[in-house]
């Protein structure tokens, strides 16, 4: 039996409820979730899931129905998600940063019958759309806030209390919810980040998520009960896979950071063997290390990694977007070899991975066991295997299969495979810039080089149908003021954007970047914008990817100015 067959055989006999039951029986007193000083054991977690599942059943949540969650990372989020999965419903976490209009789209498209919100802030954003959701029967609110008099509204604690009473009265009913669940049934749904249009509902099965966990464990084995940190939103496929499904498979101890900013201090305390970060996390960590190293004698720099909890990392990973080479190289010089991976929600997260001892910097590694890749004539990457999702949720509740007759999924990414089977990502197919002279240019490479400078928060390359490339640059709202202060400059981000010292530094950066680019890729002009970009202000997706269409529309005047003679 080869490795792929071994992974398939293991995943085919497991389900998410089955893993939770196993952990509660075998590791009853072991920690499952910790937030601050509070810890939930595996036994206690399953009891809460059972109670909340009964409570949701009393609200009428039925198999196949969708349940939307909008709350930060906290134990109740895990309980809610797992309870819905035990009922064979389809739980889906919506990003906390969605605007009211985005909420309207996701809620209507999913036809959710139950919505679970964190508190007053979330309730306020949902109020304008609640009258437009004919499928919605109940709104469950976690925090103890005053609810509208409408009978649809109920507190989370009341659902749990009533469900727990029902579970105690008939504990066998909970087992009845789950005994018939098959590995190829849906276990959850997540919406894509919507970089180029409306988000799509990605439906994943028990087999998808458990196969991914098994394959990752075979490639990079981690001890059972090892600590892990959950700090990204559970709407992000990486966090969902690592903090829910892989954690269930390995009976890991998940340390929850409700605020992402807590991740660094939690790292130092928990010292996990693996840690996944999107490129922005590694960029900020690199900037912090550079500042710390500058003030520390070279022979004492190792102590900084120890203080941060980074010295024991066996598998630091990065994905979701390319990690700029200068950032990767600096971190490697500091003793942190970040391993890039590649995948998407539709491939249950990681489809290829660099692993310790077999990494090739600059690539995103080789396919997971059982995963096949094919490069089309135009460079588009196609993927096939057990991690490929069921399909996209249609508005009528059915699932649209999008693989071809042979099971291949068109990913929309452009790349190439080397002779050793390592994949290199060039760009997104829809994001390639075609200049007026017909040159195809990959913008993410250019943007990554610009973002390697600590002053730069984000950058977007522009040039579709134009004679040359230009760039819009947004300063980093934390690093730019610090950089300026060290040079005796103070003021708002808008002030810094126009300051001669900043403008000179950006001109030097663009010149240095151009020295690493082919002629057609070089930036002829650039503009430093007076504001930072964020998901809240609309320029970025919740996973910090550029919303190019929004940026082009919002800064059309600035772009046109760059092309005037």
- Which CATH number goes with the domain that contains 391? 3.40.50.12780
Q: 454-501 pLDDT, tens per residue?
A: 899 999 999 988 889 999 999 999 889 999 998 999 999 999 999 999
What is residue 353's predicted lDDT score, i.e. its pLDDT? Answer: 98
Could you give the count of Cα atoms lying within 13 Å of 47 in the half-sphere of its Cβ? Answer: 12
Q: Which two structure tokens, joined as six digits, stand for 66?
A: 């969708």
Q: What is the pLDDT of residue 89?
A: 97
Element (H, E) at 445: helix 443-451
- Give me the mean pLDDT over the 271-288 stretch: 88
Q: What is the mean pLDDT of residues 294-302?
A: 81
CATH number at residue 120: 3.40.50.980
Number of domains in the chain: 3
* Domain shared by 391 and 462, yes or no: no
Is residue 147 domain-resident? yes
Tens digits of per-residue pLDDT, 311-356?
A: 889 999 999 888 888 889 999 998 899 999 999 999 999 999 999 9
Mark whether 415 and 439 lie in a shared domain: no
Q: What is the DSSP string of 274-319?
A: EEEE-HHHHHHHHHHHHHHHHTS-GGGHHHHHHHHT-TT-SEEEE-
Model confidence at 51, pLDDT cuts 50, 70, 90, reads very high
The pLDDT assigned to 283 comes to 84
The answer to whether residue 432 scores a pLDDT higher than 70 is yes
Token pair, residue 328, equals 């990767």
Residue 87 lies in a domain: yes
The predicted pLDDT at position 197 comes to: 65
Tokens of 88: 């064979």
Q: Are residues 452 and 421 in the same domain?
A: no
Beta strands in 371-485 (DSSP E): 372-375, 380-384, 391-393, 399-400, 409-417, 423-428, 433-434, 440-441, 456-462, 469-475
Q: Inter-axis angle of helices 156-169 and 42-58, to 10 degrees?
A: 100
Looking at the structure, tell me whether residues 24 and 164 fall in a common domain.
yes
What pLDDT digit, counting tens, does each position of 88-127 carry? 999 999 988 788 888 999 999 999 999 999 999 999 999 9
Q: How many CA atoms lie within 13 A of 295 on its CB side?
A: 6
pLDDT at site 196? 57
How far apart, in whole angstroms, are the C-alpha atoms of residue 389 and residue 186?
A: 10
User: Of 396, 430, 464, which residue sits at a domain end?
Assistant: 430
Boundary (domain end) residue, out of 414, 430, 446 = 430
Q: Are residues 381 and 509 in the same domain?
A: no
| pLDDT exceeds cutoff 90 at 138 | yes
Distance between CA 205 and CA 184 in Å, rounded? Answer: 5
Nearest to 35 by CA among 251, 253, 277: 253
321 vs 20 pLDDT, higher one: 20
Mean pLDDT is lowest, of 30-34, 75-79, 387-391, 550-554, for 550-554
**C-alpha distances in angstroms, 398 versus 65, 66, 89, 186?**
11, 12, 13, 12
Is the per-residue pLDDT at 292 higher than 90?
no
Does residue 219 fall inside a structural domain? no
User: What's the whole-model pTM score?
Assistant: 0.87
pLDDT at 194: 64
SS3 content of the chain, % helix, strand, coil (to 5): 40, 20, 35
State mean pLDDT over 36-57.
Answer: 97
Same domain, 26 and 73: yes
| Average of per-residue pLDDT across 42-65 | 97
The full length of the chain comes to 565
546 - beta bridge partners? Answer: 540
Of all residues in the chain, the percent with pLDDT exceeding 70 is 99
d(CA 17, CA 191): 23
| Closest CA relative to residue 454, chosen from 487, 421, 430 | 487
* Predicted local confidence at residue 102, as pLDDT: 84
pLDDT band at 441 (very low <50, low <70, confident <90, very high): confident
Phi/psi at 316 (nearest 5 deg)?
Answer: -80, 125
Most confident region among 131-135, 387-391, 530-534 by mean pLDDT: 387-391
Same domain, 252 and 374: yes
Closest by Cα among 538, 549, 552, 547 to 97: 538
Residue 224 inside a domain? The answer is no
Phi, psi torsion values for 428, nearest 5 degrees: -80, 140
CATH number of the domain that residue 447 is part of = 3.30.300.30
275/414 same-domain check: yes
Name the token pair of 93.
């976490």
What is the extent of the structural domain holding 311? 237-430
Co-location of 59 and 170 in the same domain: yes
Q: How many helices (H) and strands (E) does the chain have?
A: 21, 27
The stretch 289-298 carries a mean pLDDT of: 83
- Position 297 scores a pLDDT of 84
Q: Which of 290-294, 431-435, 513-517 has the highest mean pLDDT?
A: 513-517
- Read off the pLDDT band of 565 (50, 70, 90): low
- Per-residue pLDDT at 195: 59
Dihedral angle, C-alpha 419, 425, 429, 430, nearest 10 °: 180
Q: What is the DSSP letter of 154?
A: E
Give 240-256 pLDDT, tens digit per residue: 999 999 999 999 999 99
CA dist., res. 281 & res. 272, Å (int): 16
Residue 535 pLDDT level (bands cut at 50, 70, 90): confident
């Amino acid at each position: 039996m080869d490795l792929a067959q071994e992974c398939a055989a293991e995943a085919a006999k497991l389900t998410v409820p089955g893993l939770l039951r196993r952990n509660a029986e075998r590791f009853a007193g072991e920690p499952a979730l910790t937030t601050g000083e509070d810890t939930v054991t595996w036994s206690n977690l399953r009891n809460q899931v059972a109670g909340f599942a009964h409570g949701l059943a009393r609200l009428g949540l039925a198999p196949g129905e969708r349940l939307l969650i909008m709350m930060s990372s906290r134990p109740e989020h895990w309980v809610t998600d797992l309870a819905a999965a035990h009922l064979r419903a389809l739980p889906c976490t919506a990003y906390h940063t969605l605007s009211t209009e985005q909420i309207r789209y996701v809620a209507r498209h999913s036809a959710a019958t139950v919505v679970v919100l964190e508190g007053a802030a979330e309730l306020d954003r949902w109020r304008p759309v609640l009258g437009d959701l004919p499928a919605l029967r109940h709104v469950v609110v976690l925090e103890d806030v005053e609810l509208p008099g409408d009978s649809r509204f109920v507190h989370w604690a009341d659902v749990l209390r009533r469900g727990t009473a029902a579970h105690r009265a008939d504990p066998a009913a909970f087992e009845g919810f789950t005994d018939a669940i098959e590995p190829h049934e849906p276990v959850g749904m997540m919406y894509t980040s919507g970089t180029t249009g409306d988000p799509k509902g990605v439906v994943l099965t028990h087999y998808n998520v458990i196969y991914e966990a098994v394959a990752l464990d075979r490639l990079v084995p981690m001890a059972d009960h090892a600590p892990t940190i959950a700090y990204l939103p559970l709407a992000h496929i990486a966090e969902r896979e690592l903090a829910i499904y892989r954690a269930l498979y390995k009976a890991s101890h998940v340390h929850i950071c409700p605020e992402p900013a807590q991740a660094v201090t939690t790292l130092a305390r928990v010292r996990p063997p693996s840690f996944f970060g999107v490129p922005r996390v590694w960029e900020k960590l690199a900037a912090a290390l550079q500042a710390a190293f500058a003030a520390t004698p070279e022979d004492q720099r190792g102590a900084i990694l120890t203080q941060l909890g980074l010295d024991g990392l066996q598998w630091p990973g990065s994905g979701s977007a390319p990690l700029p080479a200068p950032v990767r190289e600096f971190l490697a010089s500091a003793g942190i070899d970040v391993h890039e991976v590649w995948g998407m929600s539709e491939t249950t997260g990681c489809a290829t991975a660099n692993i310790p001892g077999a990494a090739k910097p600059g690539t995103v590694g080789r396919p997971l066991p059982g995963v096949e890749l094919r490069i089309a004539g135009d460079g588009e990457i196609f993927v096939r295997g057990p991690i490929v999702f069921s399909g996209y949720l249609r508005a009528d509740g059915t699932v649209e299969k999008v693989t071809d007759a042979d099971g291949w999924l068109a990913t929309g990414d452009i790349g190439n495979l080397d002779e050793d089977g390592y994949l290199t990502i060039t760009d997104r197919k829809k994001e390639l810039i075609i200049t007026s002279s017909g040159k195809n240019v990959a913008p993410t490479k250019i943007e990554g080089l610009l973002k390697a400078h600590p002053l730069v928060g984000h950058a977007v390359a522009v040039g579709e149908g134009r004679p040359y490339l230009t760039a819009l640059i947004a300063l980093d709202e934390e690093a730019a003021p610090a950089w300026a202060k060290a040079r005796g400059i103070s003021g708002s981000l808008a002030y810094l954007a126009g300051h001669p010292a900043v403008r000179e530094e950006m001109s030097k950066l663009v010149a240095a970047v151009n020295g690493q680019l082919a002629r057609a890729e070089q930036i002829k002009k650039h503009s430093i914008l007076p504001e930072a970009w964020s998901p809240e202000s609309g320029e970025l997706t919740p996973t910090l990817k550029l919303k190019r269409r929004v940026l082009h529309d919002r800064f059309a005047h600035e772009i046109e100015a760059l092309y005037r003679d």
